[in-house]
Chain A
Amino acid sequence: MSIVTVQLGQCGNQIGHEVFSALCSDIRGTHGLCSKKENESYQDSCKERFFCEEESGVPVARAVLVDMEPKVISQTLSMAARSGHWKYSNHSHFCQKQGSGNNWANGYSVHGPRHKEAIMNLVQKEAEKCERLGGFLTIMSMAGGTGSGLGAFVTQCLRDAFPTSFILNHVVWPYGTGEVIVQNYNSVLTLSHLYHSSDALLVHENDVIHKICAQLMNIKQISFRDVNQVIAHQLGSVFQPAHTAGGGSGYSRNPLGIDWQVRPPHPGLHPLHKKPLHFNTSIANLVILRGKDVHSADLGSFQDPSLYTSWLNPQDAFNAWKTPRAFNKYEKSAALVSNSQFLLKPLDSIVGKAWNMFASKAYLHQYTKFGIQEEDFLDCFTTLEQVISSYTNL
């Protein structure tokens, strides 16, 4: 099954490039510490998912690149081509000249409708190249104007055009101390809108990745390139093929196949137990093990009931995927994807700051002039307060 990736804005395009680079570099070269047959099966599966074969033999990323100004896309295209190992199609990008000015409303209400046809045509073309379409992955930041605003609009269009396809949004959260003054507005608008069209939001926070670079990797002068490579690495370790639990011996058909939609029971039916607050309470956890000894690894602690909300059976909430094929030449590697309360604090902080700014009406004129009114903001705040409330009550 194939995934079509849509890279949006400066952040989305920069990260997208690093992701395809990481995937490609992983499948080339060594046998991955497993049998030749296993390795070939892995490579075929990965290629089918993320790349298209071309006559020249150079894999072409199944991707659509979108930005409202030309510089980043042109750098992205040329960097990929220079690698010699993979590239983007020459006909899968769309850009304009002026940028979105960090304005979500500009991205969503102006650029979105204006360029919908052109962008969706590119997506349609990529989708048609897939024998079996598994779904869509969008990569975007939520702080700026294009990735956030246009990204939310495109996600909606994807949902309308492909009602039964799986849509996963990879969203980058900005540094808390600010890169953009209106980032909290843009974030609130993005998240609330994505909630209506997306199946799942996979999140990376710049502050957290920055810490990884500083404390775990000891990088002295951290650049955005460093941050993006860590993110790409993590995404690669999640999206590369793996055997799912019920998938038999073949590689998982749908890479995004975990059921992310969990509906909590009606309130009042299940009394809320007070739990010791050691961990963020989870609704679902996915562990992906790659490399040596994956089948003998003990994952029992991941099924500890104290990790999960009281109305879920840990057996239902926990999944493990394994493959003996090593990722990125690591003898053993593990990835954890978690749907839990970990995002509560950052989300609450963003909503709080945005609300504070909203109460003073600062910057609202910049949004209303492009058609996003105060009522729209209120709807968005309501949506997110509900999300916060639902997660808090786990």
Chain B
Amino acid sequence: MTQSVVVQVGQCGNQVGCRFWDLALREHAAVNKKGMYDEALSSFFRNVDTRSGDNGPDIYKGKICSLKARALLIDMEEGVVNEILQGPLRDVFDSKQLITDVSGSGNNWAVGHKIYGCQYRENIVEKLRKTAEHCDSLQCFFIIHSMGGGTGSGLGTFVLNLLEEEFPEVYRFVTSVYPSGEDDVITSPYNSVLAMKELNEHADCVLPIENESLFEIVNKIHQMINSGKLGSTVKQNSLVTSSAGSAKTQVKPFDAMNNIVANLLLNLTSSARFEGSLNMDLNEISMNLVPFPRLHYLVSSLTPLYTLADVNVPSRRLDQMFSDAFSRDHQLIQADPKHSLYLACALLVRGNVQVSDLRRNIERLKPSLQFVSWNQEGWKTGLCSVPPVGHSHSLLALANNTCVKPTFIELKDRFMKLYKKKAHLHHYLQIDGMEQSCFSEAVSSLSDLIEEYNELDATKGGPRVDPSRLKIAV
């Protein structure tokens, strides 16, 4: 089995990351009753013999001694990381896995990317190497960050570049939180577009997340609980927004939203960690969902959002789960895949679901979805036998769909509004290594991406003309 390393950068990245590690431990604890260190755990955790201190050797088999996250925590302010180190997860992280500074990046991509990037390059590479050395077979790096600020956006994408240089064979999956239109960081469009160029060029897969969607999911759950419509009580630990059962005791404002993203990552990696009748490894996700190198932005949707306390699940409910995965209120970005074009779609099912259930639902949902002409049956499926905590089954749908185009167009528009007036540009240009061309190249990269989606959209709904086959002389 393979290992993955999480690199969490900036305030958002570290807050989400923290929730991920917490919920990952909760998930493994629910499955691993004997306290033995197994292959599933080794995917994200080392087992360290800490009896003689933090620098003890790794234990590969046998009882769990001390689990350490395969992670790198990077932030140019100390607040968030310090809080993690004082909280219930402090023992999960090694002091050698942290890179912090004090002044922050001032919401400036250039400060994060050029200044801190340069300054901390050696340090970052060294720590990455160390983490990789502890891995038997390192398969993937997960980067968690936001796009709108300075550290997550700038330094985060710097690290992305580094990963490609230093570990070209290891996959790079990026979870990026995109700013909304009403974001209070004025320069977020600059930061996001500058970061987008890096994502276009150096990421294998990007899972864009929008706060609005997370917020709506949180609200929906609140409403459902408060309206009393649910009848019997909801299982607390089944809520996609909940920290129940994890180490966390105090609830902070963004926790619910961050838990959703953490659950996304857990579901994405479930098939790589646990067994199933049809495994879907991370390299298969990249292989099947990325038909052209730059079109690697995947829309994710998670279902169910909660489980009722009654356990019996008739197959009608199972089918409902599949339908929900294709409804907008379960998506993690604001987009409309049903009215756009699917390039590819993956369904990662967890729990008690069989091949025949999968086939039945694909047949049922197919007619309402538009697939690109050269991938009419473009489904990638996976069955993992271990369900998430509190559920008997769950589904993560990942879609490569042209519906991301409007999001990118809006981003470009917000960028242009500022750029035309040269608003705040001097904050960037005064940084060593930053020039006007960085901006023009970045927006050009984004425009090209939008154009690729346009070309695909143009094929939608047109008459289907299959290319003629090769003629063979008999």
Hey, which bits of chain A sit against chain B, CB under 8 A?
A: 10, 69-71, 97-99, 101-103, 145, 175-182, 220-224, 267, 351-353, 355-357, 359-363, 365-366, 381-382, 385-386, 389, 393
Q: Are B380 and A180 touching (Cβ within 8 A)?
A: yes
A102 to B362, CA, bound (A): 21
Which chain B residue lies CB-closest to A392? B474
Q: Are A181 and B1 touching (Cβ within 8 A)?
A: no
Q: Which residues of B are found within 8 Å of A357, using beta-carbon distances?
A: 374-375
- Contact code string B389-410 (vs A, CB < 8 Å = 1, else 0): 0000000000000000000000
> How many residues on the B side are at the interface (Cβ–Cβ under 8 A)?
46
How far, in Å, is B171 (CB) from chain A's closest CB?
9
**Complex interface residues of chain B between 355 and 386 (CB less than 8 A to chain A):** 355-357, 359, 362-363, 372-381
Q: Which 6 A-B residue pairings sit nearest by Cβ, starting from the closest?
A: A101-B283, A362-B291, A359-B467, A97-B137, A181-B288, A360-B374
Q: Are B472 and A98 touching (Cβ within 8 A)?
A: no
Q: Which residues of B are found within 8 Å of A98, using beta-carbon distances?
A: 2, 137, 139, 281, 283
Q: Are B284 and A221 touching (Cβ within 8 A)?
A: no
B286 at the interface (CB under 8 A from A): yes
List 7 contacting pairs A-B, 8 Å CB cutoff, sorted by A.
Answer: A70-B1, A98-B281, A101-B281, A179-B278, A222-B356, A360-B372, A362-B375
How far, in Å, is A308 (CB) from chain B's closest CB?
20
B470 at the interface (CB under 8 A from A): yes
B354 at the interface (CB under 8 A from A): yes
Q: Are A362 and B466 touching (Cβ within 8 A)?
A: no
How far, in Å, is B239 (CB) from chain A's closest CB?
29
A382 to B471, CA, bound (A): 9
A393 to B474, CA, bound (A): 9
Q: Which residues of B are found within 8 Å of A224, using beta-carbon distances?
A: 277-278, 355
A98 to B277, CA, bound (A): 17
Main secondary structure, interface of A, reads: loop
Q: Are A221 and B354 touching (Cβ within 8 A)?
A: yes
Q: Which residues of A are found within 8 Å of B292, using beta-carbon distances?
A: 361-362, 365
A251 to B289, CA, bound (A): 52
Which chain B residue lies CB-closest to A360? B374
A181 to B372, CA, bound (A): 13
Q: Are B379 and A10 touching (Cβ within 8 A)?
A: no
A176 to B376, CA, bound (A): 11
Q: Which of A176, A353, A363 contacts B291 (CB 8 A)?
A: A363
Q: Are A356 and B472 touching (Cβ within 8 A)?
A: no
Q: Are A101 and B293 touching (Cβ within 8 A)?
A: no
Q: Which residues of A are found within 8 Å of B268, using beta-carbon distances?
A: none
B435 at the interface (CB under 8 A from A): no
Q: Are A177 and B1 touching (Cβ within 8 A)?
A: no
How far, in Å, is A200 (CB) from chain B's closest CB?
22
A313 to B12, CA, bound (A): 76
Q: Are A178 and B377 touching (Cβ within 8 A)?
A: yes
Q: Are A101 and B467 touching (Cβ within 8 A)?
A: no
Q: Are A101 and B286 touching (Cβ within 8 A)?
A: yes
How far, in Å, is A15 (CB) from chain B's closest CB?
14
Known A177-B379, A357-B375: A182·B287 in contact at CB below 8 Å:
yes
Q: Which of A99, A181, A223, A366 contacts B378 (CB 8 A)?
A: A181
Known A180-B380, A362-B375, A365-B293: A356·B467 in contact at CB below 8 Å:
yes
A267 to B357, CA, bound (A): 49
Q: Which residues of A are found within 8 Å of B379, using beta-carbon distances?
A: 177-179, 181
How far, in Å, is A142 (CB) from chain B's closest CB?
16
How far, in Å, is B332 (CB) from chain A's closest CB?
22
A177 to B359, CA, bound (A): 8
Known A10-B279, A178-B377, A366-B287: A385·B474 in contact at CB below 8 Å:
no
Q: Which residues of B are found within 8 Å of A393, using beta-carbon distances?
A: 474
Q: Which residues of A are found within 8 Å of B377, using beta-carbon distances?
A: 176-178, 353
B344 at the interface (CB under 8 A from A): yes
